[in-house]
Amino acid sequence: MAIHSESVEKALEGVEDGASILAGGFGLVGIPQALILGLRDKGVRNLTLVSNNCGVDDWGLGLLLRNRQVRKVIASYVGENKEFERQFLSGELEVELVPQGTLAERIRAGGAGIPAFYTPAGVGTPIAEGREVRRFGGKDYLLEHGLRADFALVKAWRADEMGNLVYRRTARNFNPVMAAAGRVTIAEVEEVVPLGALDPDQIHTPSVYVQRVLACPGVEKRIERRITSSRA
């Protein structure tokens, strides 16, 4: 049964310098913003972050980059974050870029206890340099390793009192696979409902994967880039 934390500080207990962290979200959608702000205020450093990307300069994981709390990032792309780009190109930040589908599968494999797998993604590119490549059915495949982390910080819409989670629409993105791959999974949720209020067939992350739940209603949600069009 998940422990319901009374504060961000309590939820982040045990996160120390040098920790590895899986952070859910895609851009600014489905990110655990209250927990990210808690990491910033906690001041932990030399973090290894695993995330699809690192938000933007002034929101999401970009706050940790700007505060020089991150040693390494494992991500699929740099995105809209200029500070991420600057630190990467200057050599201040260690970056491991992974194809997006491969990143998702590495995390899923880690959560499923699968140590490694082969994929065609990246074969014949700089990603494959110095890596094991094997041939199956006349086609080359690159060896990739499953990925886990000390902590997984995820954002869900609802949790029940046991810690079962439901995500809302596109906020589901990387969160479910990350929840399964963290040694300690901390779920930031918008609402905690009584046991039995969630349809068992609609639960996305079972409580067995969740160690801590933090209720954070009303956390600001930003749009990464607003695009509008006018109609004649």
Give the tens place of pLDDT for each residue, 104-130.
Answer: 999 999 999 999 999 999 999 988 999
Query: pTM of the entire structure?
Result: 0.93
Question: Quick one: pLDDT at residue 232?
Answer: 55
Q: Which residues of 21-59 are buried (b: 16+ CB within 10 A; e: fewer)?
A: bbbbbbbbbbbbbbbbbbbeeeebeebbbbbbbbbbbeb
Instruction: Please give the share of the chain, as a percent, with pLDDT higher than 90.
Output: 84
Does 126 map to a domain?
no
Residue 157: which CATH number?
3.40.1080.10
Name the domain count of the chain: 1
- Residue 221 domain-assigned? no
In a domain, 59, yes or no: yes
pLDDT higher than 80, residue 1: no
pLDDT of amino acid 34: 96
Please tell me whether residue 85 adopts helix, strand or coil conformation.
Answer: helix
Higher pLDDT, 221 or 60: 60
123 located within any domain: no
What average pLDDT does this structure show over 62-71? 96
Give the three-state DSSP class for 214. strand
pLDDT band, very low/low/confident/very high, at 80 (cuts 50, 70, 90)? confident
Write down the residue that tokens 């060896």 correspond to.
143
80: left (phi over 0), alpha (psi -120 to 50) or beta: alpha
Q: Structural domain of residue 191, as residue ranges?
A: 3-115+148-215
- pLDDT reported for residue 230: 73
For residue range 165-217, list pLDDT tens digits in order.
999 999 999 999 999 999 999 999 999 999 999 999 999 999 999 999 999 98
Instruction: Kindly state whether residue 134 falls inside one of the protein's structural domains.
Output: no
Task: Quote the CA–CA distance of 32 and 85 in Å, as a whole number.
Answer: 22
CA distance linking residue 163 with residue 210, whole number of Å: 6
Q: Is 61 helix (H, G, I), strand (E, B) or coil?
A: coil
Is 81 or 70 the better-scoring residue by pLDDT? Answer: 70
Residue 92: inside a domain: yes
Residue 22, pLDDT above cutoff 90: yes
Tell me, yes or no, whether 232 lies in a domain.
Answer: no
Confidence (pLDDT) at 209: 97
* Per-residue confidence (pLDDT) for residue 192, from 0 to 100: 96
Please check whether residue 135 lies inside any domain of the structure. Answer: no
